[in-house]
């Protein structure tokens, strides 16, 4: 067994738990197996402690949780939790050798690159990151058998008004917890805080100085209630804290409970409703949304409503007249909505039919396109799901004169009032001579509470807050900032930074540098800043990450002595590309065929079984029903050595080769005409038989929707269905259906890559560009991300940007482990870079490119095999008319066939080149050796791009995209999949 196969057997076990922090429960453990989530009774919450600090309408909560793995299996965890509007995470700690170590802020892409690099050594750090919307997740490894891991998370929030009171709510599960402790401190209030709910009767508040305190400690305790603390509010009475920033300035934070003057009603005669009916729309609380509409139209007569459905396209559903609250027809249209496809705000017309204000029911997660121009009328964004992009929706509302209606926190009556009355607004601070960086600049005062932060140049100083309707000042409230209002150890600067970030995030591309600076300075998790914990001080040194205070002295000493090792941890591909270009030039200028004996590949001696980890998933064994199953290391040891290779290459049910062949004839070239036939590799899933039985496309779509109820979270289902409709010439439906993959998981690059491959195949190049750009934003630590985006740019005719992006892939710095994984990718990049440079000549500039990397390299045949998942071993094989096979074991043929380096545990790609084709038949095959983990994205998606006359100016391209579940049923031997044939 050679080293390639041994690497394939070494698996990082992936047992994934997900915890969702909502208004109803504390984190709940779930395990992931084969892409499915289910409760895991073997991993329990052993210890929970929470510390809460409250002043005015702000609160900071620190939660410490210990999870105990009482099973005999090693597990890896992930905590995923959406947080409400106005909440941010500013602290994370993970136990290292039994001691909690605080995380430090790092650029998100660097944190991910370092995490994955160390993970390859089987020693993992902890990382907390923010995904789309206000959603956070942390990955934890290892959860050792019969062992525990402890994490600590700190988050900040603004409290919301409910019936004239501010309310703090901490959800607590009705499950036994081995060790439970809870403490709360409430500052600057005269009245005793009211406990609307409490987990135990001994939890009561006592006054200590100017602070109300309560605590409880229990063993083997089952909370019977959550914690809910209510505070009566005093109108127009600011509560203010200040904290020294530097020698010449102070942070300040003031909370004001506003009582607006008599509400100013506004006419409601026309309304335009945008209803997000993408797949993720199923997760919204439609009962709350409909109840809000009923309240809104309850007392009005003759309101004209125009309803649109927004998903991958925006379609007008109909016009409705609501008379005296009778909205049955409108609600019926809403109930009959079909939720399918991704979300594309760019399809919303700039000029919408209908009139009046716009009510937009959505979560703000537009994954297929953004609004290029907002409507010229007020937009009221309506949120009824905990997973939402609040900052984006707030921007849409504020910039158009509307409001964000958060049905998670506002009841239907109050929400309707927000629309029926003119919005009462905070208009800013009068005379900004002595204060700066005030947040928010302006805002709608909803719920009667407002938090204002800023920086004062001197103290004491009095600032004047202005409020009113439109731009007219109706009310002024003076606020005195005084050094005696000191916040002590309260980190009010974090709230200031949090509000600054909320202003910047809607314009992420323009503000990403400022967002990163704020995130790192204040330790806040942002869209591009994560919190990371590393196990050893050597790793902080290696990856140039400043550690927490307790390791700083040792870190500085090591930096001085290990500067060279620190620099070696990061590098680029420029030098390797220069050497590879020399090889390519020599190969291209060699005359073929050459007379030589064909060398057979001889595998090295097998590695002893003791070096195989105890759990793997790569061996494609199958159960009686044909499904792949996990095979343990013990089982692998029982396989005779002589049969190991065949065992790894065994066939598994999953895909089949269709007899239908596509043909492209390439003419106008001095060499003989060539043609390429690509194999249409189809799934053999049983549900496709039901699709084939449908008489029409409309009938088939209904069958698809019915089947989706069973397969809603199965990625391969959407892949198969999209291809089915595409084959039936229903391309619009195919694009809509495959786009569902980006709705299944937040920021899942593997699912996005699958979508990009099919969009390229379907010729939907504009959407391919959007999807590949998102992957590049999330994963700039992979050269494949630059490459995919560059080729999408090329597909869209953006040749200079494509050229620059390909060169960026060679010149970006990557971790040492990543470069080892992707060693050889420079050969693929060089071919593509030079293709653009030679084909588009005067339309592109190569002035910034190293001249040693430029050379015209036209070839008769080029094949590139791509796949969407890391930790994969997939091989490209090409057999020529002499029956000579070019693959990783025989990298060059006598005809001049050349294959790039073998990628055994990364994303690929692998490339075959033949400068001059001879007459005869060529076969292209793929060989799946296996994966090293289970993934939400399902089986790997492969895309083969097959070129004739590459870089000649007359090239032709065919694309094959298919999914391979540990081997194939295609018409080939040794577990290989025949994907295309050439004839010259």
Q: Kindly state the percentage of the chain with pLDDT values over 70.
A: 84
Pick from 205, 228, 227, 229: nearest CA to 215: 205
Which H/E stretch holds residue 67? strand 58-69
From edge to edge, which strands make up the β-sheet containing 160-162?
160-162, 165-170, 227-232, 194-197
Q: Which residue has the higher pLDDT, 336 or 36?
A: 336
As beta bridge partners, residue 182 has: 50, 216
Integer CA distances (angstroms), 144 to 15, 140, 149, 158, in order: 11, 11, 8, 37
Tokens describing residue 364: 């703000």
Cis peptide before 460 (omega within 30 of 0): yes
In contact, 139 and 116? CB cutoff 8 Å: no
CA–CA separation, 260 vs 562, rounded Å? 63
In contact, 255 and 450? CB cutoff 8 Å: yes
By mean pLDDT, which of 131-145, 598-612, 898-912 is the weakest?
598-612
pLDDT band at 661 (very low <50, low <70, confident <90, very high): very low
By mean pLDDT, which of 224-228, 611-615, 980-984 is the weakest?
611-615
CA–CA separation, 742 vs 749, rounded Å? 9
910-914 and 898-899 strand pairing: antiparallel
pLDDT band at 31 (very low <50, low <70, confident <90, very high): low
Full DSSP string of 190-238: SSPPEEEE-SSTT---EEETTEEEEEEEEEEE--SS-EEEEEE--TT--
Pick from 362, 354, 293: nearest CA to 327: 293
* pLDDT value of position 88: 81
Tokens describing residue 666: 């390439």
CA–CA separation, 88 vs 60, rounded Å? 10
CB atoms within 10 A of CB 877: 26
Question: Looking at residue 163, what DSSP letter applies?
Answer: T
Which residue has 């379907």 as its token pair?
762
* pLDDT value of position 8: 28
CA–CA separation, 528 vs 408, rounded Å? 27
The SS3 assignment for 662 reads strand
Q: Which residue has the higher pLDDT, 76 or 214?
A: 214
By mean pLDDT, which of 71-80, 102-111, 212-221, 946-955 is the weakest?
71-80
Pick from 142, 106, 120, 187: nearest CA to 14: 142
Q: Report the mean per-residue pLDDT for the chain.
A: 83
In contact, 222 and 199? CB cutoff 8 Å: no
In contact, 37 and 28? CB cutoff 8 Å: no
CA atoms within 13 A on the CB side of 271: 27
pLDDT of 16 > 80? The answer is no
What are the pLDDT digits (tens) for 720-729?
999 999 999 9
By mean pLDDT, which of 589-603, 608-622, 856-870 is the weakest?
608-622
What are the pLDDT digits (tens) for 795-842?
999 999 999 999 999 999 999 888 999 999 999 999 999 999 999 988
From edge to edge, which strands make up the β-sheet containing 88-96?
99-102, 88-96, 147-158, 58-69, 43-55, 177-187, 211-221, 206-208
pLDDT of 930 > 70? The answer is no
What are the pLDDT digits (tens) for 501-530?
988 888 888 898 999 999 999 999 988 899
pLDDT of 703 > 60? The answer is yes
pLDDT band at 42 (very low <50, low <70, confident <90, very high): confident
303-310 and 270-276 strand pairing: parallel
pLDDT of 35 > 70? The answer is no
Integer CA distances (angstroms), 550 to 62, 377, 556, in order: 20, 54, 12
What are the pLDDT digits (tens) for 579-611?
999 999 999 999 998 765 544 444 442 333 322
pTM exceeds 0.85: no
Pick from 342, 297, 345: nearest CA to 323: 297
Tokens describing residue 211: 């602070």
> What integer is the mean pLDDT of 744-748?
88
Tokens describing residue 256: 């004001």
Cβ-proximal residues to 1 (8 Å cutoff; 6+ apart), any chain: 603, 606, 607, 641, 644, 645
What are the pLDDT digits (tens) for 552-573?
999 999 988 876 666 778 899 9
Handedness of CA 185, 188, 194, 197 (dihedral sign): negative
Q: Which residue has the higher pLDDT, 856 or 929?
A: 856
Question: 425 φ, ψ to 5°?
Answer: -120, 150
> What integer is the mean pLDDT of 330-334?
97
Q: Kindly state the percentage of the chain with pLDDT values over 90.
A: 51
In contact, 328 and 384? CB cutoff 8 Å: no
pLDDT band at 665 (very low <50, low <70, confident <90, very high): very low
């Amino acid at each position: 067994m050679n080293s390639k196969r041994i690497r394939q057997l070494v698996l990082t076990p992936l047992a994934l738990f997900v915890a969702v922090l909502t208004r109803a429960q504390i984190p709940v453990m779930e395990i992931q197996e084969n892409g499915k989530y289910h409760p895991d009774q073997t991993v329990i919450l052993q210890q929970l402690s929470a510390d809460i600090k409250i002043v005015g309408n702000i609160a900071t909560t620190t939660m410490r949780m210990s999870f105990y793995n009482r099973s005999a299996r090693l597990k890896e965890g992930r905590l995923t939790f959406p947080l409400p509007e106005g909440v941010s995470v500013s602290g994370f700690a993970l136990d290292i050798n039994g001691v909690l170590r605080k995380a430090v802020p790092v650029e998100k892409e660097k944190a991910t690159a370092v995490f994955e690099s160390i993970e390859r050594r089987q020693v993992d750090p902890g990382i907390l990151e923010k995904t789309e919307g206000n959603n956070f997740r942390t990955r934890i490894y290892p959860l050792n058998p019969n062992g525990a891991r402890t994490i600590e998370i700190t988050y900040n929030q603004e409290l919301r008004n409910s019936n004239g009171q501010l309310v703090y709510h901490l959800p607590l599960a009705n499950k036994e917890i081995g060790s439970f402790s809870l403490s709360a401190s409430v500052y600057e209030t005269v009245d005793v805080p009211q406990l609307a709910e409490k987990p135990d009767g001994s939890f009561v508040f006592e006054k200590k100085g100017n602070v109300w305190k309560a605590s409880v400690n229990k063993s083997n305790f089952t909370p019977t209630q959550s914690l809910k603390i209510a505070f009566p509010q005093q109108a127009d009475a600011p509560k203010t804290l200040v904290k020294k920033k530097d020698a010449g300035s102070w942070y300040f934070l003031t909370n004001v409970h506003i009582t607006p003057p008599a509400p100013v009603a506004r006419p409601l005669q026309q309304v335009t409703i945008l209803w997000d009916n993408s797949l993720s729309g199923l997760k919204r609380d439609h009962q709350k949304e409909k109840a809000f509409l009923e309240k809104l139209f309850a007392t009005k007569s003759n309101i004209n409503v125009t309803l649109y459905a927004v998903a991958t396209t925006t379609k007008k559903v109909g016009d409705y007249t609501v008379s005296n609250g009778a909205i049955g027809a409108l609600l019926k249209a809403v109930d009959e909505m079909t939720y399918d496809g991704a979300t594309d705000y760019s399809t919303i017309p700039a000029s919408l039919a209908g009139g009046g204000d716009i009510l937009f029911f959505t979560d703000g997660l537009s994954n297929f396109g953004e609004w290029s121009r907002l409507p010229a009328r007020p937009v009221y964004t309506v949120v009824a799901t905990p997973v939402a992009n609040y900052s984006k929706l707030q921007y849409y509302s504020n910039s158009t004169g509307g409001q964000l209606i958060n049905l998670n926190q506002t009841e239907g009556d109050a929400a309707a009032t927000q629309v029926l009355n003119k919005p009462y607004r905070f208009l800013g601070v009068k005379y900004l001579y002595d204060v700066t960086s005030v947040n928010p600049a302006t805002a709608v005062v909803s719920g009667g509470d407002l938090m204002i932060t800023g920086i004062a140049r001197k103290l004491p100083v009095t600032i004047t807050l202005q409020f009113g309707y439109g731009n007219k000042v109706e009310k002024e409230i003076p606020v005195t900032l005084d050094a005696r209002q000191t916040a002590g150890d309260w980190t009010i600067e974090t709230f200031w930074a949090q509000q600054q970030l909320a202003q910047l995030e809607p314009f992420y591309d323009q503000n990403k540098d400022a967002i990163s600076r704020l995130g790192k300075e204040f330790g806040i998790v942002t869209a591009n800043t994560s919190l990371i914990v590393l196990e050893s001080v050597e790793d902080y040194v290696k990856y140039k990450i400043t550690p927490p205070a307790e390791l700083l002295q040792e870190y500085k000493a090591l930096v001085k002595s290990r500067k060279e090792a620190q620099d070696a941890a990061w590098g680029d591909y420029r030098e390797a590309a220069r050497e590879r270009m020399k090889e390519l030039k020599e190969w291209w200028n060699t005359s073929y065929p050459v007379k030589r004996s064909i060398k057979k590949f001889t595998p090295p001696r097998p590695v002893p079984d003791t070096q195989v980890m105890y759990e793997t998933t790569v061996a494609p064994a199958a159960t009686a029903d044909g499904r792949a199953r996990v095979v343990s290391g013990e089982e692998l040891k029982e396989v005779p050595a002589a049969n190991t290779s065949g065992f790894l290459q065994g066939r598994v049910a999953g895909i089949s080769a269709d007899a239908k062949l596509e043909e492209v004839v390439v003419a106008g070239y001095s060499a003989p005409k060539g043609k390429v036939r690509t194999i249409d590799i189809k799934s053999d899933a049983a549900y496709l038989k039901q699709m084939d039985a449908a008489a029409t496309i409309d009938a088939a779509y209904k069958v698809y929707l019915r089947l989706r109820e069973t397969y809603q979270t199965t990625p391969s289902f959407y892949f198969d269905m999209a291809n089915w409709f595409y084959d039936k010439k229903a391309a619009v439906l195919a694009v809509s259906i495959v786009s569902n993959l980006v709705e299944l998981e937040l920021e899942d690059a593997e699912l996005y890559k699958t979508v990009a491959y099919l969009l390229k195949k379907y010729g939907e190049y504009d959407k391919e560009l959007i999807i590949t750009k998102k992957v590049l934003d999330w994963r700039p630590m992979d050269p494949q991300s630059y490459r995919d985006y560059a080729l999408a740019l090329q597909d869209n005719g953006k040749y200079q940007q494509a050229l620059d992006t390909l060169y960026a892939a060679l010149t970006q710095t990557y971790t040492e482990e990543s470069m080892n994984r992707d060693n050889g990718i420079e050969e693929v990049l060089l071919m593509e870079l030079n293709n653009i440079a030679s084909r588009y000549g005067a339309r592109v500039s190569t002035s910034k490119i190293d001249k040693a990397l430029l050379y015209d390299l036209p070839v008769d045949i080029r094949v590139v095999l791509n796949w969407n998942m890391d930790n994969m071993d997939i091989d490209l094989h090409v057999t020529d008319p002499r029956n000579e096979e070019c693959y990783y074991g025989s990298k060059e043929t006598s005809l001049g066939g050349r294959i790039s380096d073998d990628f055994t545990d990364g994303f690929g790609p692998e490339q075959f080149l033949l400068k001059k084709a001879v007459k005869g038949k060529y076969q292209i095959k793929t060989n799946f050796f296996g994966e090293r983990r289970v993934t939400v994205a399902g089986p790997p998606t492969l895309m083969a791009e097959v070129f004739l006359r590459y870089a000649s100016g007359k090239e032709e391209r065919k694309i094959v995209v298919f999914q391979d579940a540990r081997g194939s049923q295609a018409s080939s031997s040794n577990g290989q999949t025949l994907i295309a044939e050439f004839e010259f």
